[in-house]
Amino acid sequence: MENKKRALFIDRDGTLIVEPPVDFQVDSLQKLEFIPGVLRNMHFIASTLDFELVMVTNQDGLGTPSFPTSDFLPPHEKMLQTFKGEGVEFDDIIIDRTFENEHRQTRKPGTALLGKYMDDSYDLENSFVIGDRITDIQLAKNLGAKGILLQNADTGKRMIEDAGLEQTCVLVAESWDCIADYLRGGARTAQVSRKTSETDIYISLDLDGHGRCDISTGLGFFDHMLNQIGRHSGFDLTIKTKGDLYVDEHHTVEDTALALGEALRKALGDKRGIERYGFVLPMDDCNCTVALDFGGRPWLVWNADFKRERIGDVPTEMFFHFFKSLSDAAAMNLYVNADGSNEHHKIEGIFKALARALRAASRRDVFRYDLPSTKGAL
């Protein structure tokens, strides 16, 4: 059976080129400005990935006195020539010329001009609509495709939630680098549920997030440390742990580490393109080193002594246990070293160093999308 074609339906103004904020018309060469990173990344997409490239744009009143075609064509053709010079040629360009108040189905998010892509010859489920407006994501829903919103992370998330399009929008991207990364390597997310007679744990992890955390384990200081991981790694991290704290803290800390390690291992996937290694961090009177290798061989070297029995509501003996369980479940090598006089600073420095090590080691370069190993496997 012949494989169906996939397409990228890409908005123009605000996505490929800058949309003028006053009249929203690119009607002169002076107004033509490319979105940062779009040329490099569109070249990568066109030369590397197997998508047809379809430009879909609303140009209000094009061909009327309010927007003469003679004003539209010079910057539009210059844009196309520039893309062609970068090895990017669009397979189709679809322009709706109606005004918004006409409410025509030819206009995004309507699909009347896209009928040929809806005849079952295209794999729309694995095609994408890329744009900067909510109408682009609505178009994705109407096509049965996936949506990528090019927006500020917080603004974009609110737009998607307000429109109820969480199931359609797979990525809110702040740059074309993020879009190319996603299209090449896919999402790096994981969800883990772990339930035993001692603990009930849910973890959601996005390695390419923005440092958003929602942590609740029943142990205040432990929550504070886990927040350091999300915040300083840039991962979006949700951890909900209900443990048998009426017994003690052991199961809560250990099982959370095991679930978090499993989430890291799942989110990393085949590990292609990652840096693999990371990191050192000073904190006030403490010098903390966390050297990390996602090499697939769990091992922990722990050189951190604590004089206090507890920090906050967590026994200090559990810190070693947390890192050992995390290392085992994530299949990573960890070397932890900490010197300093303040016990709180020492362990917080270790968690922050871990976060930065995770950030450095998990960073993915889609332009160098190989496995960082001479063995051919990690």
Is residue 252 scored above 50 in pLDDT?
Answer: yes
Residue 99 lies in a domain: yes
Domain end among 139, 155, 185: 185
Out of 13, 208, 255, 293, which one is annotated catalytic?
A: 13
Residue 376 lies in a domain: no
| Segments forming the whole domain that contains residue 254 | 189-362
Rounded to an integer, what distance in angstroms lies between the CA atom of residue 341 and that of residue 371?
Answer: 41
Query: Which tens digit of pLDDT belongs to each residue from 188-212?
Result: 899 999 999 999 999 999 998 889 9
Q: For residue 209, give the CATH number of its domain.
A: 3.30.230.40
From 185, 215, 231, the end of a domain falls on 185
Same domain for 344 and 195: yes
Do 128 and 256 belong together in one domain?
no
Note whether residue 377 is domain-resident.
no
Residue 352 domain-assigned?
A: yes
Helix pair angle (38-48, 176-185), 10° resolution:
20
Indicate whether 30 and 179 sit together in one domain: yes
pLDDT at 2 over 90: no
Quick one: 126 and 223 in the same domain? no
Residue 333 has pLDDT above 50, yes or no: yes
Residue-averaged pLDDT of the chain: 92
Condensed to tens digits (0 to 9), the pLDDT of residues 227-245 reads: 999 999 999 999 999 999 9
Same domain, 229 and 298: yes
Q: What is the distance between the terminal CA atoms of the chain, rounded to a whole angstrom?
A: 34
Q: What is the CATH number of the domain that holds 120?
A: 3.40.50.1000
Of 20-34, 79-93, 179-193, least confident by mean pLDDT is 179-193
30 pLDDT more than 90: yes
Mean pLDDT, range 364-376, rounded to an integer: 68
pLDDT band, residue 186 (cuts 50/70/90): confident
Active site residue 13: yes
Q: Specify the pLDDT at position 256.
A: 98
Q: pLDDT-based confidence at 1, cuts 50/70/90?
A: very low
Return the HEC string of 282-337. Answer: EECCEEEEEEEECCCCCEEEEECCCCCCEECCEECHHHHHHHHHHHHHHCCEEEEE
What pLDDT does 295 receive? 86
For residue 11, indicate whether it is catalytic: yes
Together in a domain, 198 and 168: no
Same domain for 177 and 207: no
Contact predicate 353/287, CB 8 Å: no
pLDDT at 283 over 60: no
Let me know whether 132 and 149 are in one domain: yes
- Give yes or no: residues 28 and 65 share one domain: yes
Share of the chain above pLDDT 70, in %: 94
Residue 122 lies in a domain: yes
Specify if 371 maps to a domain: no
Q: Taking residues 287-291, what's their average pLDDT? A: 88
Question: In this structure, are 264 and 151 located in the same domain?
Answer: no
Report whether pLDDT(365) > 90.
no
Q: Are residues 178 and 193 in the same domain?
A: no
Which of 185, 209, 236 is the C-terminal boundary of a domain? 185
| 145-156 confidence digits (pLDDT tens) | 999 999 998 899
Specify the pLDDT at position 255. Answer: 97
Q: What is the pLDDT of residues 312-327, one digit of tens each?
A: 999 999 999 999 999 9
Q: Based on the structure, what is the number of domains in the chain?
A: 2
More confident residue, 134 or 368: 134
> What is the band of 265 on the pLDDT scale with cuts at 50, 70, 90?
very high
Same domain, residue pair 35 and 160 = yes
Specify the pLDDT at position 97: 96
Q: Which of 68-77, 193-202, 350-359, 364-373 is the least confident region?
A: 364-373
User: 126-165: b or e for each residue (b if 16 or more CB lie within 10 Å)?
Assistant: ebbbbbbbbbbbbbbbbbebbbbbbbebeebbebbeeeeb
Residue 370 clears pLDDT 80, i.e. is over it = no
Domain annotation covers residue 373: no
Residue 118 lies in a domain: yes
